[in-house]
Each structure stands twice: as C-alpha cells, then as structure tokens.
Amino acid sequence: MAVALVLVLIVVGSILFHLLSPWWWTPIASNWGYIDDTLVITFWITGFVFAAVILFMAYCVFRFRHREGQQAAYEPESRRLEGWLTIVTAIGVAAMLTPGLFVWHRFISVPADATEIEVVGQQWQWSFRLPGADGRLGTSDNRKVTPENPLGVNPDDPAGADDVVIQGGDLHLPEGKPVKVLLRSIDVLHDFYVPEFRAKMDLVPGSVTYFWFTPTQTGTFEVLCAELCGVGHNVMRGTVIVDTPDNYQAWLQGQPTFAQMTAQNQASAADQIKP
Amino acid sequence: MSVIVIFLTVIAGIAGWWLSQQRLMSKPWLEEGVIGPSFDTGTSLPSAKIGLAVFLAVVGCLFALLTSAYVMRMQLPDWQALPLPQLLWLNTGLLALSSIALHFAVLAARKGSMETVRLALVTGGLTALAFLFGQVVVCRELVAAGFFLSTNPANSFFYLLTGMHGLHILGGLFGLGRTTIRAWEEPKTERVRLGVELCAMYWHFLLLVWLGLLVLLAGWAGDFLEICRGLLN
Amino acid sequence: MVDITPRAVDAIPPAEVPEVELYHPRSWWTTYVFAQDAKVIAIQYACTALAIGLVALVLSWLMRLQLGFPDAFSFITPEAYYQFITMHGMIMVIYLLTALFLGGFGNYLIPLMVGARDMVFPYVNMLSYWIYLLAVLVLVTSFFAPGGPTGAGWTLYPPQAILSGTPGGQDWGIILMLSSLILFIIGFTMGGLNYVVTVLQGRTRGMTLMRLPLTVWGIFTATVMALLAFPALFVACVMMLFDRLLGTSFFMPAVVEMGTQLQHRGGSPLLFQHLFWFFGHPEVYIVALPAFGIVSDLISTHARKNIFGYRMMVWAIVGIGALSFVVWAHHMYVSGMNPYFGFFFATTTLIIAVPTAIKVYNWVLTLWRGDIHLTLPMLFALAFIVTFVNGGLTGLFLGNVVVDVPLSDTMFVVAHFHMVMGVAPILVVFGAIYHWYPKITGRMLNQTMGQFHFWVTFLGAYAIFFPMHYLGLVGVPRRYPELGQTAFIPDSVHTLNAFISIAALIVGFAQMVFLFNLIWSIRHGKEAGGNPWRATSLEWQTPHTPPRHGNWGKELPVVYRWAYDYSVPGAPQDFIPQNDPGTGRTAMGMA
C-alpha cells in the first residue's frame, strides 16, 4: 500500500519538478534551436515511458500484493505481448533517433560561407585568432610556440601575417554570420563551451577539430572549459561578445595583426638589449 | 579499431555457433526430468583445455588491440618504419621449431613413448629459450643502431609488441618447465598427456601471434590496409 | 508441444560423481585465509570490495561538502577535489562494483546455482583474490605517496593525466593508479576464466543452459565481456606507463606545457580514448548484466511467479552483451573524432535500448498477477526498476548524438551514470545481500534496520540524482570544484547543490546502519533455516546452511526442471525446487 503510494508520488513529484522547477536551459543565442527541439521530443517520449512503466508497477504492487490464500498466475511468456512491446519500443526509439541524425547531419555540414576562426586552449586560458584581410588563417605548429608567439603561428606562412591574435582577451563575433570554429590546443584536452550556443567540441593537442554555428543574439557570453584539463579547469574562462556587423568591423579594425605584433615584440626585445 | 572488431566478430561467431547448439529456443518450463545425455555436462573436453582456450581468446584480444593501436598510430605523419634485422627470421624459425617439437611431444604422448616425449619437451623448451635470447639480441642490435625506444612510435611499438610476446613465451616456459619435470617423474604418458597437449596448444597459438606480429612489423599489413582503405573510400 | 519426454522418475540414477576431488584444507590458514573454497573467496572479495567502497563513500562526502558549501572547507583544495573524484570514480566502477558482482556474487553463486562442488580451478581462483587485494593495496598506497593519488578523472585522459598540471601527473599518483589497474586486470582474468569454465563445464546433471537462473546468465555473460574488454584497458595502461616513464609518444602529441616544449611528439590522445572506451562501455554492462540477472531472480522469487519471458530475457542478455562492443564511441561525440562516426554509434546505441527496454517490461510483467511479498529484497528490486528506468531513459538523451552535444560534460552526465550504473546496481547489491545473507550466515538480517536502510537509501538517492539532471540542463559543467561567479548560473543552483549535498550525507549515514546490521545479524539475526524464501534454485537446496566445503555432501543434486517453477497449478506448494523430481506436470494438462 505505502509502497505503491510512494511509487505514484515519485512519478507525480518528478513531473511536477520538471514543470515547476526554475532550472532549465539558458536562452539560446545560436542557430541550434534544432538541438533544443530534439531534446524536447526526447523529454516527451522518455517522460511518457517513465510515467507509464512506474505507474503500471505501482498498480501491480497495489493490486497483487500478498494476501492470505492468494496464488500467482502461471504465465511463462506471451510472444504476442512481447512482440508488440518490442515494436512499440522500436518505433519510440526511431522517433528520437531520426530527427537526431538529421540534425547531426546539419551539425557536421559546415556552410560554405562560414568564416573560419580559431580558438586555442592552454592551461588555463583561451586565446583566439581571426583571419585578416585575406580571409585565411595561416598555418601553425605547437613546435613554434615561444613566449613571443604564444599560439605557434607559422611566421613563414604569408597567410598568417595579417591574422589577428587575441591572447587572453575577448572574442568578438558578428551577429548572423556563420562561423566555423577551428579548435587547437597547445597542451592538454580542453572543450570550448558556451552554454547559450549549445554546440561544443573538444580541443585536442596535435590535431585541429571544428564545429560551426551562427550567433543569433548580440550580447556577452561566458566561455567555460568542459573537458578536465588540470587543477585550473574551473577557472579557465573567457568571453565571447556577439556584435552587430558594424560594431564588429569597428572592433576588428582596432586589433593588431600577427605581423605587427611580431614587429612590436622584436622592437621591444631590441629595446631591452640596447641599454 | 577495425582489427579488434574483426577479431571479436570471429569470437562472437564461435560463441554464437556454440550457443546455437544449446537449444536456446526451447521452452524450459515445458520440460521436466533429466534432459538427454548429450546435455548432461557440457562438452567432453577436459576443463583445463576449455580454460586454456578461453585464456587464449583473451590473449588474442590483447594482441588484436595492440594491433589496432599500431594501425591507428601508424597513420599519423611522424611514423618511420624501422628496418627488420635479419636475425628475426632465424628467431621465427626457432619458434616454429619449438612448436613442431611440442607437436611431436603430443604425438609421442598419445602413442605412449615416454622417451620421445621427454626429448621433444626439452627440445621445445631449449628452442623457445633460444628464441627469447635471439629476441633480446635483436633489440640490442636495434638500440646499437640508434633505434631507441622513444625516438619514433614505430620503435616504441616494436619493443612493446616483441616484449609483450616475449613475456607470454616466458610465462609459457614456466608451464613447460613444470610439465617437463613431471615427464621425468612419471613413468606413464597418460599422466602427462594433458599437460603436454596444453603446452603445445599454447605454443602453437603464440607462434600464430608471432607470425601475425611479424606481418605487421614487416609492413606487409600496411599494403593490405591501403587496399582496404581504397575500397572503403 | 513437449520437446523432451520426461523420463520415469525411478529410472534416474543418483548422480554418481566421485565424492570430492577437492583440495581439502588442513589448517585454519588454508580454510579461511589462503582458501580455495569459492565461498570463502567470495566473502574475501566482498569484504575487500566493501572496505575500499567505504573509502569511496567518504570521498563522495568530501566532494559533496565542497560542492554544496564551496567556501566552508579550506582543506579541500582544487587538487584534493580532483583526487577525490578520480579515486571515487575508479574505486566505485572497478574495485567495488566489478569486483563485488563478479568476484563476490560470481564466486558464491555460480558453483551453488549450477550444482558444482567448487570452481573448476580453485587454486587459480585463490590467486585471483590475492592479486585483487594487491591491486587494492597499491591503489591505497597512492593516497600516501608523495603528491598524493592521481587527479586525472577516472577516465585518465592523456596528455593531462601525465602532466604536472594535474595532481599526481608527474608524481607517483598516476604510476600507482596504472599499476594497480594492470594488477586488477591480471587478477580478474584468473577469476574470470574460472567463472566462465565453471558455467561451461561444471553444471550438474540436467542443468542445461536454459535451466540456469538468470543470475548465472547475467554473471556469465558479464564475465565473458569483461575478459574481452579488460585487455583494452590493459593495453591503454601499459602504453600510458611507457609514455609517462620511458618518454614514448603513443598518446602524447607535441605539447607546450607552461611555456616548456616537451619531448613528446606526434601521439594521439584520441587513440587512448578509443582504447579506454572500448573497455569503458562494455564495463557499464559488466556491472549492469549481473544486476539484471540478480534482480530477475529476486522479483520472481518474491512475487512467487516465474520470470515473465525467460527466453527473451536470456536472448536480451546475450544480445546486449554483444551489442555493447560496438557502441563505445558514444562517449566521444564531442571528442573531435571523425564526425561521421556519430551516425553509426548513435544508431547502435539506441538499438541497444530495445533489448534493455524488453527486460524492464518483463520485470514489471512478472509482477502483474503475481503474489507480491514486499520483503526487503523485493523492495530493493522495485527501487532498482525505478532508478534504472530513470537512468536508462536519460541515456537516450546522451546516446542520441546531437542531443548529447549540449549535455556532454555537464552534471546531466553525472546524474545519468550515477542513476544507471551507480544507484541502480548498488540497490541490486543491497537486495541481493538481504536475499542471500541467510544462506551465507544462516541468519536473517534485521528487518527494522533494513527498512530504515531501504527507505533512506532509495528516496535519498533519488533526491540526489534526479534534480542533478536539471543542473546539467542549466549548463553546469561537471568536474568543477566550485562554480564561482558565472553569469548564466542563477543563485538557485547553489541552493540546489547544498540540498543535494545534505541528501548525500544522509544517504551515506544510512549505509553505516547497513554495515552495522551486517555485523550485528551474524550473531543476533533470526535463525533462517535452509530456504527461508521458499525459493527454487539450487543454492537453497544445499544439505547444510551455510553450505560446507564441497557444497553438496556426498552426492551432487540432479536437476529436473528450470529455476522458475513458482505457483505451478496443481502443485502442492507454490514452488518446486529444481532438484525435485516432481510428478510429471504434463499429466496435469499444462499448456
């Protein structure tokens, strides 16, 4: 009796918690509303199954609890019932998987007009690199990392000369334009995670990974690291600021290029040697 | 990971074949009584053999995984295959000889000639020891030629694979040693037959593993993989 | 209709198995310490696993204290926090659950349930336990080593695991961890060979595979899987030890650590992840399948009804076991692997949900029209279904590749795997202990303490892990010792964290009551008799309780029926033991 009641209360309580609790995802700021939709479909289907199974169990516990003189029915199996349950389950699973795979296909198909930007992780800060006027990022190599060239940009690659390097600063992105985020790490695994964008991906040292999204809301968003990267994991924060296209251009003009930075570094190094 | 998946598919095939003999479709609630003699007590093979077979499946899994890792690592740009010393072929011959000797030991044990069993066991043990010694010499040669463990992943894998295989031979030598001692104490071959058969089984398997590793290390597997990849793309 | 004609009862000769070809212990040492009796080894395994599990429990308290009250405990530094989570995870998954289900329950139940005198290789079985103990001791040593235990997370992902930015990465922590795992795998392989070969070879007369209790099916399949999956962890550990100690570059790419160029180059961190999860995913089912099997038997026995759809249950166990080897990369959707793998692994992962769901339906359908005795084992079984269904369904979120993207590495994942492979299997462990304790000791566990333990554990664990999913939805990442000031995280999250921590402390306290009950009832529990639950399977039909060395006295039992003859119409009692020759049911008009 009490057990059946508790089982019912667990179902009711879980549903109420789901509906009434203040904890829900952050307002979306990218094109990945599809992911949210798939997630909601999954919530509906799984929520229904959870309630149905546990409530049925509660009914069984109540109805068939032991009483004097009661005997259990003898029923080794029922192929029909099992067959139907299998089919219904398979349909439910397909209903979740199919939209999931369609959205995944979108997720991994980067639009041709996406701007490439680079995110570089290291213990424990975020750096960014934007292509300059030529719209291309120069090559890079962890072996080329020095204090003056913290991202290991290849100085011999002309495509890299006009790249904008932002070390430890904020990343700006224009609203409404798809970006392909290239991810690179110079030490351990990290994960570029902005909850509002929904998309995320690991940074793997030794290779370049990627994902894409289109920012759809202007504003300031916090970047977290979502792959354990050592003791500073939780303080590895950064900021992404999504601007209107005009503001973005204004900001971009004010940033030094890799070539300018290198020249500046060499000049200051020379200054230090002189006296 | 394709190598290990193929390996496990084979294991799954064997397990599936065995399960298909076990009347999994029967309705046990309708059957009462002691069911027919063929289902009495598993198979007629001795438990030790089944145990060794299961263990060899685990060992096979281990080497299949190492091979998988080898193949995945090999595709990265810094891989530089190392030349195989000629001595390796002699070692392979020694190991094959060892396996053949143990096979003769099994035949002799079945026929009942204890003297031949003893001779074959000792031959098998000594050739296996010679193989191990040869492997050590190969490694020393390679190190002397500048192929250090950590200079290239191809070197690392070479030492890792040969070392892992050598350790398994070494473990087998303990079993072989015990069997040989028993063969000297026992006058009758029936008492040592099972032990001899187990040693031979283990030896044949390790020879097979070694040949597989050799194919991998010699780079022949690489050509094969190229063809596979061509087919996939 | 009847596949096999029952023979006349009188025609069946007694099992003429030679009395005992066993190693007979001669002294106290060889009886209780260096024992070769599977039952003693089982108890050794169980006690060691529970002892190291207690360490993991204390670590979880410390973690929860830090998460619930981030500023209150200055001694829990980020380093210490990472060490706590790593050791907690590794101990619970490997050293507690795997060892307890296979080494503990497997050793005790397999020989008894299949009607054998002992495992087939008792000496190897003994070695298995001692190597396991050594592995545990090496693990414990790392707590006292310079630099402390490793803080790399239980997944031990390189390069982080062996670099100085991680606690224990450049000290002894990671070396001891990897060595301990290697030892564990060697020890487990020895035990696992025994469990498999005993099921294959040791079954008594009449015990066909389709007459085995589902407990044996679960443990058997899980052991086969473990034997094939643990080598992947073994390979990963050996290769990482090479990288850490000998400077090789299996997993280590060119890395600039804190401004210094390291010697490694060209290695692939993803290679490690593939190897790790090739072990790690089957590992989930290595823990789950024994739990599935045991819970089937608990439900059937205490609902006085045969398990519904036995054949389907067996096929599902085998099917899940096989499928679980081709889903590993669903742990790696956002790892940067080839994104096209996502299609394959999402599909296989969701397919595995079908046989799993069938198992759940069959458990619930076993209750339908049953005669449900709400004993403690039954209560734990019901609680298992609730938590397993909950945790299994959230698995559909994480397995469905694109839904996993926002949720991966958040508290949603933590809540999911704790519900499905933490809480659910542990509830089965408890149910199983309440169920088989009378066989092991001859006495019942105390009911009052048991009821307290059940309700606090079940409701408390649900209160911990159900709301935790919603932290993940908000976006709270896992493995953060403290959230600090983060714009998108509302203050209510901190309140919820504090609530979860308090619930965790209470649940932890209830486990102390359970441990006390275990010890107290050995002397003070109610006498149980040989078969207190009126169960059918062979372990309840031993001539002595607790069973003696050799289990069966002079003659092995002969099996005449499957393990689920409960409430058979026309039978004098509501159960017929497996070794009861009976009267021939076909005569009673059974369909």
Q: Which residue in B7, B17, B22, B34 has the most chain C C-beta atoms within 10 A of its own C-beta, making it the best mutation to test that interface?
A: B34
> Quick one: pLDDT at residue A107?
93
Q: Are A204 and C157 in contact (CB under 8 A)?
A: no
Q: Which residues in chain B have their CB less than 8 angstroms from residue C590's CB? A: 30
Residues 550-589 in C contacting B (C-alpha not used; CB under 8 Å): 558-562, 564-565, 581-582, 584-586
Q: Which residue in C1, C2, C3 has the most chain B C-beta atoms within 10 A of its own C-beta, making it the best mutation to test that interface?
A: C3
Decide if pLDDT at B37 tops 60.
no
Is residue C140 one of the residues assigned to a domain? Answer: yes
Nearest by CB to A23, which of C153, C343, C492? C492
Q: Which residue in A103, A143, A202, A220 has the most chain C C-beta atoms within 10 A of its own C-beta, making it the best mutation to test that interface?
A: A202
Distance from CA of C306 to the nearest CA of B (A): 9
Look at B137-141, B221-225, C160-164, C299-303 and tell me which has the smallest mean pLDDT.
B221-225
- Kindly state the tokens that stand for C447: 């009911």
Q: Which residues in chain A have their CB less than 8 angstroms from residue C405's CB? A: 35, 107, 198-200
User: Is C253–A235 a contact, with Cβ atoms under 8 angstroms apart?
Assistant: no
- Kindly state the tokens that stand for C428: 């089965």
> Quick one: pLDDT at residue C22?
54
User: Is C270–A204 a contact, with Cβ atoms under 8 angstroms apart?
Assistant: yes
Average pLDDT, chain A: 90
> Quick one: pLDDT at residue C586?
44
CA dihedral sign, ordered A57, C425, C412, C352: negative
Distance from CA of B62 to the nearest CA of C (A): 5
B74 or C20: which carries more pLDDT confidence? B74
Count contacts between B and C (CB, < 8 Å).
177
Between CA C58 and CA C505 the distance in angstroms is 9
> A273 pLDDT band (50/70/90 cuts)?
low
Range of the domain at C456: 34-248+273-582
Q: Are A236 and A242 in contact (CB under 8 A)?
A: no
User: Is C239–B76 a contact, with Cβ atoms under 8 angstroms apart?
Assistant: no
CA distances (Å), C325 to each of A87, A144, B61, B73, C280, in order? 24, 40, 13, 21, 10
Mean pLDDT of all residues in A115-126: 92
Give per-residue pLDDT as tens, C49-92.
999 999 999 999 999 999 999 888 889 999 999 999 999 999 99
User: Is A53–C385 a contact, with Cβ atoms under 8 angstroms apart?
Assistant: yes
Structure letter (DSSP) for residue A232 = T
User: Cis peptide before A84, with omega less than 30 degrees from 0?
Assistant: no
Q: Which residues in chain A have their CB less than 8 angstroms from residue C171's CB? A: none
Is residue B37 one of the residues assigned to a domain? Answer: no
User: Is B24–C193 a contact, with Cβ atoms under 8 angstroms apart?
Assistant: no
Range of the domain at B117: 82-232
Is residue B5 one of the residues assigned to a domain? Answer: no
Nearest by CB to B153, which of C250, C263, C278? C250
Is residue B210 one of the residues assigned to a domain? Answer: yes
The set of chains that have 3 or more CB pairs under 8 A with B is C
User: Is A187–C471 a contact, with Cβ atoms under 8 angstroms apart?
Assistant: no
Distance from CA of A149 to the nearest CA of C (A): 11
Burial class, C170, CB count within 10 angstroms (exposed 0-12 / middle 13-18 / buried 19+): middle
Nearest by CB to C274, which of B1, B15, B150? B1
Distance from CA of A84 to the nearest CA of C (A): 10
Select from A164, A167, A128, A161 the least CA-distant residue to A147.
A167
Q: How many domains does chain B have?
A: 1
Decide if pLDDT at A127 tops 70.
yes
Residues of chain C with pLDDT under 70: 1-25, 583-591
Q: Which residue in C248, C274, C311, C338 has the most chain B C-beta atoms within 10 A of its own C-beta, making it the best mutation to test that interface?
A: C248
Q: Which residues in chain A have their CB less than 8 angstroms from residue C261's CB? A: 142-143, 145
Give per-residue pLDDT as tens, A19-54.
999 999 999 999 999 999 999 999 999 999 999 999
Mean pLDDT of all residues in A265-274: 68
Give per-residue pLDDT as tens, B97-106.
999 999 999 9
C224 touches chain B (CB under 8 A): yes
Q: Which residues in chain C have their CB less than 8 angstroms from residue B72's CB? A: 268, 271, 274
Distance from CA of C308 to the nearest CA of B (A): 11
User: Is A104–C342 a contact, with Cβ atoms under 8 angstroms apart?
Assistant: yes
A274 Cβ contact partners less than 8 Å away, ≥ 6 residues apart: none
Select from C372, C425, C310, C409 the least CA-distant residue to C53.
C425
> Quick one: pLDDT at residue A132?
81
Decide if pLDDT at A204 tops 90.
yes
Strand, helix or coil at C416? helix
Query: Using H for helix, E for strand and C for coil, what is the string for C97-112?
Result: HHHHHHHHHHHHHHHH
Q: What is the model's pTM? A: 0.93
Is residue C7 one of the residues assigned to a domain? Answer: no
How many contiguous H segments (helices) and E segments (strands) does chain B have? 7, 0
Burial class, A98, CB count within 10 angstroms (exposed 0-12 / middle 13-18 / buried 19+): middle
Nearest by CB to A61, which of C367, C486, C487? C367
Nearest-by-CA chain B residue for C239: B160
Distance from CA of B140 to the nearest CA of C (A): 17
Between CA C415 and CA C409 the distance in angstroms is 11
Is residue C202 one of the residues assigned to a domain? Answer: yes
Count contacts between A and C (CB, < 8 Å).
322
Q: Are C530 and C266 in contact (CB under 8 A)?
A: no
Q: Which residues in chain A have their CB less than 8 angstroms from residue C391's CB? A: none
Mean pLDDT of all residues in A227-236: 93
Distance from CA of B184 to the nearest CA of C (A): 24
Q: Which residue in A60, A105, A181, A210 has the most chain C C-beta atoms within 10 A of its own C-beta, making it the best mutation to test that interface?
A: A60
Distance from CA of A76 to the nearest CA of C (A): 5
Nearest-by-CA chain C residue for A230: C166
Query: Helix B87-111 vs helix B114-144: angle between axes, to the nearest 10 degrees?
Result: 170
CA distances (Å), C256 to each of A73, A205, C533, in order? 69, 10, 64
C462 touches chain B (CB under 8 A): no
Is residue C573 one of the residues assigned to a domain? Answer: yes
Q: Which residues in chain A have their CB less than 8 angstroms from residue C334's CB? A: 191, 200-202
Decide if pLDDT at B29 tops 60.
yes
Q: Which residues pair with A125 in a beta bridge?
A: A122
Is residue B147 one of the residues assigned to a domain? Answer: yes
Full set of structural domains in chain A with CATH: 2-64+79-108 (no CATH), 115-273 (2.60.40.420)
CA dihedral B63, B65, B67, B71 (to 10 degrees): 180
Q: Cβ atoms within 10 A of the Cβ of C450, count?
A: 24
User: Is A39–C397 a contact, with Cβ atoms under 8 angstroms apart?
Assistant: yes
User: CA C91, C93, C99: angle at the middle one, nearest 5?
Assistant: 85
CATH number, domain with residue C506: 1.20.210.10
Is residue B125 one of the residues assigned to a domain? Answer: yes
Q: Which residues pair with C147 in a beta bridge?
A: none
Nearest by CB to B54, which of C196, C235, C562? C196
Nearest by CB to A23, which of C347, C386, C471? C471
Nearest-by-CA chain A residue for C482: A234
User: Is C470–A235 a contact, with Cβ atoms under 8 angstroms apart?
Assistant: no
> Quick one: pLDDT at residue B32?
84
User: Is A200–C343 a contact, with Cβ atoms under 8 angstroms apart?
Assistant: no
Instruction: Give alpha helix (H) positions in chain A.
Output: 2-20, 33-63, 79-108, 245-253, 258-273
Mean pLDDT of all residues in A209-227: 94
> Quick one: pLDDT at residue C3?
36
Strand, helix or coil at A117? strand
User: Is B42–C310 a contact, with Cβ atoms under 8 angstroms apart?
Assistant: no
Q: Which amino acid is at B52?
A: L
Is residue C493 one of the residues assigned to a domain? Answer: yes
- Kindly state the tokens that stand for B176: 């072989």
Is residue B21 one of the residues assigned to a domain? Answer: no
Q: How many domains does chain C have?
A: 1
User: CA A87, A48, C332: angle at the middle one, nearest 5?
Assistant: 75
